[in-house]
């Protein structure tokens, strides 16, 4: 029997959507090109070390934690200490990242002028320009170059692997744009938007699982059972307006065999460049808009050491490295400090991130070259002696979509097309934010919309 909905792509976005449809009792089939689900999320165990091949953690927002509970994964959940420090490198030294206006004034990360500009921003009322601004333009205008270089640019690398000169403030950090528009100040906006006391205050904790991030995606896929078809690469999606017949034909290849399934609704949860190819026969303008979304490549380097090889006391999340410090590594996550219960006795795991929009050549290099760069830089930064017990590289040539200038228009166009082509939906990290939480939220919302559409269509035909 044909499913009512086909979800294409089994990363966290597609899984969240298919899982929600399954919960709602809607017959669904998920088609994933790879032999495993999870997409960018992957966990590998090697020689007693647990390595994450992509994301290292996720924010424990209310909706993410609800999902963890629904999946029965609470006992495997691990949460990082929200008070643990984060570091930024300046003049070759690790400096603690200030997390409050008072801490900014005391911090040695920034010069006195920059500290004062940041801490006193709430006293100055500004208006955003009418034309769309890049993140770099916004930060220079409001706070000056030092804050761009040592606070914002490293953060932007950490979230988007992006170039602040190209990223759109409005698309990449919508609250900042809105706070300036509404309150004339981002600090004032942030303070006004804080939840009332007692209503789940503070930043959500960073979370993972004792068995790694892949627990989330594996468990969702297991719930779907045979409805999740692996090694199934979709080639085309075509529409059909004939009365009484299913609206979409989805053509795919699995185990070398071409197959077609029909469905009343389709959710495309692949990266934008694949979505562009899949919708080319349904809407040429939509395909063009999707193909215009740029991606940045990244490599993830994981290394496991004996704890006594590390000369620096690693207590905290890790370190972000501004470009001006002349390292190639963008940041190093201290996995064993983030989730201490996960590291074996006397052992330490580190993960270096390298590449991004400001260093596109790195993913072209051979694994050994990437490994050599990151391990040598990590050794200098963290006073590491000797070689790791084990190390691995994972390259993601198109890791993350870039929310560059104009991205907001592209997303608006995708939404309009969604409204104009009944039963066609999009989920993925290029729509509402790249974080796992945003991908889950979007996937679930799309599932609800698809169910509502199917109900309406059924009511009309009755």
Ligand X SMILES: Cc1cc2nc3c(=O)[nH]c(=O)nc-3n(C[C@H](O)[C@H](O)[C@H](O)COP(=O)(O)OP(=O)(O)OC[C@H]3O[C@@H](n4cnc5c(N)ncnc54)[C@H](O)[C@@H]3O)c2cc1C
Shorter beta-carbon distance to ligand X: residue 379 or 429: 429
Q: How far is the CB of 399 from ligand X (least distance, A)?
A: 4
> Which CB sits closer to ligand X, 233 or 342?
233
- Shortest distance, CB of residue 97 to ligand X, whole angstroms? 16
Smallest gap from Cβ 13 to ligand X, in A, equals 3
Q: Count of CB atoms within 10 A of residue 459's CB?
A: 8
Q: Give whichever of 8 and 290 is closer to ligand X, judged by the CB atom.
A: 8
In a 13 Å sphere around the CA of 260, the CA atoms on its Cβ side amount to 9
In this complex, which beta carbon is closest to ligand X, that of residue 119 or of residue 300?
Answer: 300
- Residue nearer to ligand X on the CB measure, 261 or 300: 300
Q: How far is the CB of 49 from ligand X (least distance, A)?
A: 18
Q: Which residues contact 126 (CB under 8 A, 6 or more apart)?
A: 141, 142, 180, 184, 185
d(CA 134, CA 177): 11
Minimum distance between the CB of residue 226 and ligand X, rounded to whole angstroms? 17
The rounded radius of gyration (Å) of the Cα atoms in the chain is 23
* Residue with smaller CB distance to ligand X, 435 or 445: 435
Q: What angle do CA 187, 188, 190 make, to 5 degrees?
A: 65
Structure tokens at 141: 């205008």
Write down the least CB distance from residue 113 to ligand X, Å. Answer: 33
To ligand X, the closest distance from the beta carbon of 213 in angstroms equals 8
**What is the per-residue DSSP string for 182-225?**
HHS-HHHHHHHTSPPTTSS-SPPPEEEETT-THHHHHHHHHHHG
For residue 244, how far is the Cα from the chain centroid?
40
Nearer to ligand X, 423 or 434 (CB): 434
Using DSSP, state whether 55 is helix, strand or coil: coil
Shortest Å, Cβ 248 to ligand X: 14
The answer to whether 250 touches 31, Cβ cutoff 8 Å, is yes
* Residues whose CB falls within 8 Å of the CB of residue 7, separated by 6 or more in sequence, listed in order: 14, 17, 18, 21, 28, 29, 30, 31, 266, 267, 269, 427
Q: What whole-number distance in Å separates Cα of residue 68 and Cα of residue 74?
A: 6
In DSSP notation, 248-296 reads EEEEEEETTEEEEEEESEEEE-S-HHHHHHHTTTT-HHHHHHHHT--EE
Angle at CA of residue 99, ends 93 and 104, nearest 5°: 70
* 3-class state of residue 175 by DSSP: helix
Taking the least distance from each CB to ligand X, the nearer of 61 and 107 is 61
Cβ distance to ligand X smaller for residue 29 or 56 = 56
C-beta of 349: minimal distance to ligand X in Å? 15
Residues interacting with ligand X, by CB under 6 A? Answer: 8-14, 31-34, 39-41, 54-58, 233-234, 269-271, 274, 298, 300, 353, 396, 399-400, 428-429, 434-436, 439
Query: What's the residue count for the chain?
Result: 462
**Residue 317 Cβ vs ligand X, minimum distance, rounded to whole Å:** 10
Nearer to ligand X, 59 or 309 (CB): 59
């Amino acid at each position: 029997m044909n499913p009512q909905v086909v979800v294409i792509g089994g990363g966290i976005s597609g899984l969240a959507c298919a899982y929600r449809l399954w919960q709602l009792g809607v017959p669904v089939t998920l088609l994933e090109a790879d032999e495993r689900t999870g997409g960018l999320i992957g966990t590998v165990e090697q020689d007693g070390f647990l390595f994450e091949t992509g994301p290292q953690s996720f924010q424990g927002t209310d909706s993410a934690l609800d999902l963890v509970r629904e999946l029965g994964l609470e006992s495997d959940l691990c949460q990082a200490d929200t008070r643990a420090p984060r570091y930024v490198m300046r003049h070759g030294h690790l400096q603690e990242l200030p997390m409050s206006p008072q801490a900014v004034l005391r911090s040695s990360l920034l010069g006195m002028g920059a500290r004062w500009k940041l801490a006193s921003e709430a006293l100055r009322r500004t208006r955003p320009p009418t034309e769309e601004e890049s993140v770099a333009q916004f930060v220079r205008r409001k706070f000056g170059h030092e804050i761009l270089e040592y606070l914002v640019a490293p953060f932007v690398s950490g979230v988007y692997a992006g170039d602040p000169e190209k990223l759109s403030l409005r698309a990449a950090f919508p609250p900042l744009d809105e706070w300036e528009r509404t309150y004339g100040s981002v600090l004032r906006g942030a303070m006004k938007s804080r939840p009332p006391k007692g209503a789940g205050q503070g930043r959500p904790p960073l979370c993972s699982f004792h068995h790694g991030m892949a627990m989330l995606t594996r468990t969702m896929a297991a719930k779907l059972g045979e409805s999740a078809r692996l090694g199934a690469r979709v080639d085309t999606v075509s529409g059909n307006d004939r009365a009484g017949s299913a609206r979409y034909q989805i053509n795919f290849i699995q185990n070398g065999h071409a197959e077609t399934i029909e469905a009343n609704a389709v959710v495309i949860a692949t990266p934008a460049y694949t979505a562009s190819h899949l919708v080319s026969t349904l809407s040429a303008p939509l395909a063009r808009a999707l193909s215009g979304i740029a991606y940045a490549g990244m490599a993830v380097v994981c290394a496991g050491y004996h704890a006594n090889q590390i000369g620096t006391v690693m207590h905290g999340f890790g370190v972000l490295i501004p470009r001006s410090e002349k390292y190639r590594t963008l940041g190093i996550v201290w996995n064993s400090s983030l989730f201490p219960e996960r590291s074996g006795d006397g052992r330490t795991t580190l993960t270096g991130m390298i590449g991004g929009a400001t260093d596109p050549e790195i993913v072209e290099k051979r694994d050994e070259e990437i490994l050599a760069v990151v391990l040598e830089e990590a050794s200098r930064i963290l006073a590491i002696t000797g070689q790791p017990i084990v190390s691995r590289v994972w390259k993601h040539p198109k890791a993350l979509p870039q929310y560059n200038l104009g991205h907001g228009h592209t997303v608006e166009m995708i939404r309009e097309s969604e409204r104009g082509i009944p039963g066609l939906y999009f989920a993925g990290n290029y729509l509402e934010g790249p974080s796992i939480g945003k991908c889950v939220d979007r996937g679930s919302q799309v599932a609800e919309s698809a169910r509502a559409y199917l109900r309406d269509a059924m009511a009309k035909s009755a």
